[in-house]
Amino acid sequence: MWLLLLAVLALLLLYRWYRQSQILDNLTDKYVFITGCDSGFGNLLAKQLDKRGIWVLAACLTETGAANLKKESSSRLQTVILDVSNSQSVNSAGQWVSQIVGDRGLWGLVNNAGISGPVAPIGWLKNDDFLKPLKVNLLGMIDVTLTLLPLIRRARGRIVNVSSILGRIALVPGGYTISKFGVEAFSDTLRREVVDFGVNVSIVEPGGFNTAIMDLPLYEKNIKERWERLPAETKKSYGEQYIKQLIQYMRTAISAGSFKIFKVTNCMEHALTACYPWTRYSAGWDAKLFLMPLSYMPTVIGDLIARRNFPRPT
């Protein structure tokens, strides 16, 4: 009996591997638009797809980022300056993409641009601290998607939205986690709608990776300045040791992040090039083996683990 079950399991795994290894033909005829290509995931993905012969349309926030990317890529790769939080900038980029792809349409859209925003106790934050990551990570993603959706429908293409494992379980305070929960909801509802047009939507949920999204020295500077601006009553409530513990917590969390960001871009590439892309990709062993299972556990367990190392008022 056990041998039969093992044989069935082995066959299922073999079928799964074979199905996921099937890659599309004629990739060199396809255009892919990627946001947030100055550094990190977007930068590496742009160069990765360029080497495969795909026509990459890379959106960068700065002229410097665009210039550096073009130096490291082939003549196929083209860049555009884009601030996803600015609708005028998004519309301009959309027109640029439309002129390039024409009747062929846009095969792939990778919504990668993102910011961490302030990571601090909620009681220290203001409304604007939540708005900044929401404008970039969620509302900017929605704006770019809606602008380019007609081109994607024309090509019966792919949309890849970069979320986070923190879009499943809230472990840090601030607008970043909230925005990623929104990305999950937007992606799910979008996927169910556009499937009838032959469009596929995938979500990539990275675990802890070291990218330019979190600059530790800048974080320490900002959190100390924020502490100094707090009312005396709030400082007294948290205690003088709290800020030191908070900075140490962030140092530990950031230093634990993996530098193997290719694990994330490989997921993105598979979502764009596979015959049978996955609906969700969890990148990183911490996401696969710890945080993802944790998101399915009873709330009381998640609360205990989340509070275990996070600083507490003294």
Contacts of 314 (CB under 8 A, 6+ apart): 238, 239, 240, 241, 242
Annotated active-site residue in 18, 31, 176, 219: 176
Asked if residue 49 lies in contact with residue 78, where contact means CB atoms within 8 angstroms, the answer is no
**Torsion, Cα of 26, 32, 37, 39 (10° steps):** -30
- For 87, the token pair is 């609708």
- For 134, the token pair is 């929401």
Q: Is 249 assigned a catalytic role?
A: no
Amino acid identity, residue 112?
N
Token pair 């080497």 in the structure block, residue: 51
DSSP string over 58-111: EEESSHHHHHHHHHTS-TT-EEEE--TT-HHHHHHHHHHHHHHHGGG---EEEE
Catalytic residue annotation? 176
